[in-house]
Homo-oligomer: A and B are copies of this chain.
Amino acid sequence: MSRVTCDLTMSLDGFVAGPRQSFEQPLGEGGERLHRWQFEEREANAAEVAGILEAGAFIMGRNMFAGPGPEAWDADWRGWWGEEPPYHAPVFVLTHHRREPLELQGGTTFHFVTDGIEAALDRAREAAGTKDVAIAGGAQTARQFLSAGLMDELRLHISPVILGSGERLLDGVGDLRLEPAEVGGTGLVTHVRYRVVR
C-alpha cells in the first residue's frame, strides 16, 4: 500500500506560520522567511523540492486551498496556483462546503471532500495507486492526520529562523513515536525525514 507522507517547513522554534495569518498574508507576519530555502537555494535542495510534489494524490485543508476567512468560497475561488497548479494529480480538499470537482490544466483536479479525513484518505489512496499520498498542508490538517495515526512519514524542513509567535506545528498532536530516518540540509534549512512508528 502506498505511504502517507507530509512535507512541512517549520521554524526552529516550532512555527509553520507567523502571527496574523490572513487571506492577503497566508503565512502570517514573517512567515515567508521560512521558505527561503525553496527559492534561494533551489538547486542545493532540488531533491527535497521535487519530493514535495512527487505523490500520486494530495490532501489539503480548506485554508490551504482558499486561505483563512470566508472570502474565497464566495468568489468561486480556483486556488492560489493559477490555471496549471504544480500538483499534476488529484487533490482532495477537506471542507464542509459541497462543490463540484474543479479540473484545471496539467492533470490537477481539486475534489471537495465533506465527510472527513478518513474518507479523503480512502479516495486519495485509490487515486494514487502505487504512488504515495501526500498531505499538502496546512499544519492543522497535518496535525489531524498525525493525531489519527494516519501518517507514515513526516518530512520536516527546519528553517534556522525564530518566529517567536504564530501557528505551532506540533501543539496538541499527542505523544507520537517518531524516528529520524534521514538528515541533510544547507545553510538555510535542515531536512529531517521522520518515520512515524505505530
Q: Identify the A interface with B (CB < 8 A).
A: 12-14, 156, 158, 160-162, 164, 168-181, 183-190, 192, 194
Contact = CB atoms under 8 A, between A and B. Distances in A.
B176 A170 contact: no
Contacts of A179: 160, 187
Contacts of A188: 180
B164 A175 contact: yes
5 contacts: A162-B173, A164-B171, A180-B185, A180-B189, A183-B184
Given A14-B13, A14-B14, A180 B171 contact: no
Contacts of A194: 12, 160
Most buried by B among A14, A174, A179: A14
A176 B159 CA distance: 12
Given A14-B14, A160-B194, A183 B183 contact: yes
Given A13-B14, A162-B175, A190 B189 contact: no
A178 B12 contact: yes
